[in-house]
Structure 1
Amino acid sequence: MAKIHPTAIVDPMAELDATVEIGPYSVIGPKVKIGAGTCIKSHVVIEGNTTIGRDNLIYQFCSLGAAPQDKKYRGEDTRLEIGDRNTIREFCSFNTGTVQDAGTTRLGNDNWILAYVHLAHDCQVGSNTIFSNNATLAGHVHVGDWVIMSGFAAVHQFCKIGDHAFVGMNASLSQDVPPYVLAAGTPIAVRGLNIEGLKRRGFSGEDIAAIRRAYKLIYKSGLTLDEAKAAIEADPAYQNEDGGAHLRRMREFLDNATRGIVR
């Protein structure tokens, strides 16, 4: 039997692993599935078609799986999916998706989500990210792996943020942020590469050198974006297994940027 506080309300249709813990006054809806080792603290509301994986720690006063804040929503059975080993702090709100997009809002694994973070409908967030207090994503935003969102950063709908990017405090993003870069300031601008983050994650000197070359082509060469993409592909390391992987990731991101990139 799951460890459920007597004041919690858990719908009998909910699927809870036997090792789940549910704290005082929390409410768990009928379409909720929660995996092994996950702990839900007090006064948490989990509703909608929501799946939560293993070993998550969800703090008090969170709202997970509520209907999307989208006027087009007409009660369709959309989803929220949360992976494994995430820490989700107080007063976070994650909404389900919409049928106009993926239909599912997703959070990956091993994320550190601090207080008052909002993930709107259809957001796709990767793994190993850090969202500081009050970071906010509008609908349809895609965030890659190892991204850091500083406090009070806000992201316009449909924006993309690439792997290993760093977004500074109070940033207001209305364009895409390529992988590996540091974007900050008012107005927002790219301020360099997230070198410290890359070093902490074990990037080799060769890796960082390849990323620097791509960065200079995009931001320091005076090339148009199309010219910069062609120059990145022409880099001798582009086809290599190691440093070339980062060049290919950058080129792929630029190809798929839909709102233009922060420059």
Structure 2
Amino acid sequence: MQNVMIHPSAVVEDGAVIGEGSRVGPFCHVGKDAVLGRNVELVSHVSVMGATTLGDGCRVFPQATLGGAPQNLKHSGARTTLTIGRNTIIREGVTMHVGSDTSRGATIVGSNGYFMGYSHVAHDCTVGDNVTFANGATLAGHCDIGDNVVIGGLTAVHQFTRIGNNAFLSGCSAIPGDVIPFGLARGNLAKLRGLNVVGMRRTGMSKADIQVVRRAYRTIFDRTRTVGENLDIARRDFADSAVAMSLVSFLSERGKRYFLTPPLGAGDDGGDDED
């Protein structure tokens, strides 16, 4: 362990792997099955439990607990894992659990995420890259969260729910079903409220692609036909657009939850025609 700093009050169990340049601050506890990559910082009072791996450059703030046993009564106690990607910031009081041995057996969190205070990632979830979880954002078990997703404060996502890439979930919402890529969901219980146009711009999506996504959205949720009929039309009309087809593929690959739809009487996608 080169250039590793471990505070005298910290407990690092035999077997733990601490990468070069990492810092383990006061009153931290690192379990025997933990692996910290290079240049990881545990600020203070952090618990890294179970078979947990933190990628290079992660920074974890006080009272965060990573790798706790799953809150799943079917779990029998076999070894399962939590893997967190590079350069992820985990703020105060965040909890992330290992997988359960009756399901995937692994919880996976991508790189460059920002998890604000007291947010939670439950067992057997898969979370993509560049996500932002605001304070108190909560995932139940078995959720699949895409890249560039933003979840607002105090928003809860139901177990087995899929959230597509670049979706935005507004704060204080209850998300009972799947949210399409680029979708914007809000409410209790949440409805689809249009497209996350701001998020699309921030990720560098071209104006032309944004316009195509908007047209595909209108086609898919045209209430004069069934969604199945609309998907067939979208497959034909948008076959040459990867971003539009990502909506079609997401809705065609049904999960355990229904997908959110716009409420009756809603407008189109909430954008403007210059997007």
Bin the TM-score by the shorter chain. over 0.9
> Percent identity among equivalent residues?
36
> Which among 187, 190, 198 is matched to residue 188 of structure 1?
190
Does residue 262 in structure 1 map to residue 264 in structure 2?
Answer: no
Q: Shift in Å at residue 218 of structure 1?
A: 2.2
Distance 2:91 2:254 in 1: 31
CA deviation string 1:143-198 (max 9, x = no partner): 00000000001011000000000001111011100000111123311111111111
Residues 51, 82 of structure 1: 8 Å contact kept: yes
Equivalent residues in 2 for 1:191-206, closer than 5 Å: 191-206=193-208
Query: Which runs of structure 1 show a deviation greater than 2 angstroms over 4 or more consecutive aligned residues?
Result: 218-223
Give 1:149's aligned amino acid: I
Matched with 1:26 is 28
Normalised by the length of structure 2, the TM-score is 0.91
Residues 158, 176 of structure 2: 8 Å contact kept: yes
Matched with 2:228 is 226
Does residue 77 in structure 1 map to residue 74 in structure 2?
Answer: no
> Which among 12, 33, 36 is matched to residue 10 of structure 1?
12
Distance 2:159 2:209 in 1: 31
- 10-19 or 251-260, larger mean C-alpha shift: 251-260
Q: Shift in Å at residue 221 of structure 1?
A: 4.2
> Which among 221, 244, 249 is matched to residue 246 of structure 2?
249
Give 1:52's aligned amino acid: L
Give 1:120's aligned amino acid: A
Q: Shift in Å at residue 223 of structure 1?
A: 2.6
Q: Shift in Å at residue 88 of structure 1?
A: 0.5
Q: Shift in Å at residue 206 of structure 1?
A: 1.6
Equivalent residues in 2 for 1:160-175, closer than 5 Å: 160-175=162-177
Matched with 2:152 is 150
Q: How many aligned residue pairs are there?
A: 258
In the alignment, structure 1 segments of 5+ residues that lack a partner are none
Distance 2:225 2:47 in 1: 50
Distance 1:93 1:197 in 2: 26
CA deviation string 1:6-28 (max 9, x = no partner): 00000121011121100100000
> Which among 52, 68, 92 is matched to residue 90 of structure 1?
92
In the alignment, structure 2 segments of 5+ residues that lack a partner are 262-275
Matched with 2:60 is 58
Residues 3, 18 of structure 1: 8 Å contact kept: no
